[in-house]
Amino acid sequence: MKIIVIGSGFSGLAAATSLADKGHEVIILEKNSVAGGRARVFYEQGFTFDMGPSWYWMPDVFDNYFATFGKKTSDYYNLVRLNPSYSVILQGNETIDLPAGVEKLGDLFESMEEGSRAKFQEFMRQAAYKYDVGINNFVWKPSRSITEFLSVKLLYDVTRLDVFQSFSSHIRKFFTDEKILKIMEFPILFLGATPENTPAMYSLMNYAEMEMGTWYPMGGMHEIVKGMVSLAEEKGIKILLNKNVQKIEVQGDKANKIITEDGEFTADVVVASADYHHVEDKLLGEKYRNYDEKYWDKRVMAPSSLLFYLGVNKRISKLKHHNLFFDEDFKVHAHEIYTEPKWPSKPLFYASAPSKTDDSIAPEGCENLFLLIPVAPDLEDTEEIREKYYHIIMERLEKYCGENIRDSVIYKRSYAHHDFKSDYNAFKGNAYGLANTLMQTAILKPTLKSKKVKNLYYTGQLTVPGPGVPPSLISGLLVAGEVLLENRD
């Protein structure tokens, strides 16, 4: 078969490589000048800036991906485990460094709340089960029918996954200390919903973070993309950059042609790894869409982001590789994202200084900074607003670090809603996709297969299994499996 994949993010690369590995001719059409989707990279004044993902969790997912093709992650990039995993900055600039390893974490929690070591051990025991079932079984369901979940064992597993209990309620069965609660609820931010609206089964994220560790690929997160691109090309895949798809032409009940700004491509199968809503709204005729605008407007979106990429001409001693600024009220910030969407009054933010680990991504004596404010999607996005928030968080960063930083910034670039829409055609300028609420889990997510076009499939963060790098990679493999299953002849 001749297969066209639209988009070269993690899901597109994974789907394409899996299909090419089975002997099919695969072409990837990428809108931008660099492969990787949101995990693109750019270079300025000796700095290497990862544009999107900055956390390497669930190393087993990456290991298993490359092992599928007889490879190892070490064939493509060098991983180091971070210790501390990250720092949490609380009110009054109190800092808690999260050590690598559950034993030391247990000691830390015990020092904060008497008796919490044993409770942490029990929490992690339950989280390990959820990770095993959730990642090794549950997320590998294509979620096209309820019948996929009707085995006695899986139904038993689902009941033990705490699907119907909130993460917020679950975690409070173990801990009462507010600082511990903030630390344990942090990974939920990656899932795009509040702890109150996220199923307790996602404590599996705590297991991924705390037991399996926080890692960093030397050279930056784009090294993963480079590895996946190299493997894809080994399989004979053609990755065509600067190919902005304008239309998916459907004849009868099959997509037979992909039209770009400067050419046309025929296909037996089409895999859309671009933004799901954009594909339906802009590339397909209305009668071929799975969902109408009313459906999409009712989706609960994960936050968007206001990002700053900064090159600083000095080192900043107090920062760690990952720094979470929880020095303002999380509930107020969450309310302003999910309940009353607006620019936050007192934003939480995240500061990454990967040059603490990797000298290669910044000139000697300089610091590479990546700043992120989670914000509601679909907000007004102007340079004036971006600049306002730059100074808000830089003031807090400088106060924490005890030194002036702004005067030492020699490179600065911002990135927000407008850019997500322009570069990725992102629905409402979202950064992460759909929130992992109970009503947007498994079969309740947008389906990975077109209901009206027999040979059109969807993959990525707006379909199963959900947002994040490992889920997107799994999404690509799921779609490849469905394509192969339905085209065995």
Domain boundaries, the chain: 2-76+221-299+434-486, 105-209, 301-424
pLDDT at 438: 85
Q: Report the helix count and the strand count for the chain, using DSSP H and E.
A: 15, 19
pLDDT confidence bin for 145, thresholds 50/70/90: confident
Are both 2-76+221-299+434-486 and 301-424 of the same fold?
Answer: no
Tell me the C-alpha distance between 272 and 279, whole Å.
Answer: 7
Find the mean pLDDT for residues 141-152: 75
Instruction: Report residue 224's pLDDT band, with 50, 70 and 90 as the boundaries.
Output: very high
Q: Using the predicted structure, report yes or no on whether residue 158 has a pLDDT greater than 80.
A: no
Per DSSP, what are the bridge partners of residue 272?
Answer: 6, 458
Most confident of 131-140, 151-160, 346-355: 346-355
Does 37 have pLDDT greater than 70?
yes
pLDDT score of 380 more than 50: yes
Q: Are 48 and 277 in contact (CB under 8 A)?
A: no
Sign of CA dihedral 114, 116, 119, 125: negative
Q: How confident is the model at residue 462 (pLDDT cuts 50, 70, 90)?
A: very high
465 preceded by cis ω (within 30°)? Answer: yes
pLDDT exceeds 70 at position 392: yes
Homologous superfamily (CATH) of 2-76+221-299+434-486 is FAD/NAD(P)-binding domain (3.50.50.60)
Nearest Cα to 49, choosing from 411, 386, 316? 411
Q: Does the pLDDT of residue 152 top 50, yes or no?
A: no
Range with top average pLDDT, 163-167, 199-203, 220-224, 464-468: 220-224
Q: What are phi and psi of 79, to 5 degrees?
A: -95, 140
Please measure the distance between the N-terminal and C-terminal CA atoms of the chain and give it in whole angstroms: 10
- Predicted confidence band of residue 164 (pLDDT cuts 50, 70, 90): confident
Return contacts of 60-65, CB within 8 angstroms, 24+ apart. Answer: 60/135, 60/212, 61/135, 61/470, 61/473, 61/474, 62/224, 62/470, 62/473, 65/14, 65/473, 65/477
CATH fold of 301-424 reads Guanine Nucleotide Dissociation Inhibitor; domain 2 (3.30.519)
Question: Which residues fall within 8 angstroms of residue 307, CB to CB, at 6 or more apart?
Answer: 51, 370, 371, 372, 373, 414, 415, 416
Q: Give the pLDDT confidence of 67-108 residue by residue, as tens digits.
A: 999 999 999 999 999 999 999 999 999 999 999 999 999 999
In the chain, % of residues over pLDDT 70: 97
Structure tokens at 336: 């302003």
CA–CA dist 295, 120 (Å, integer): 40
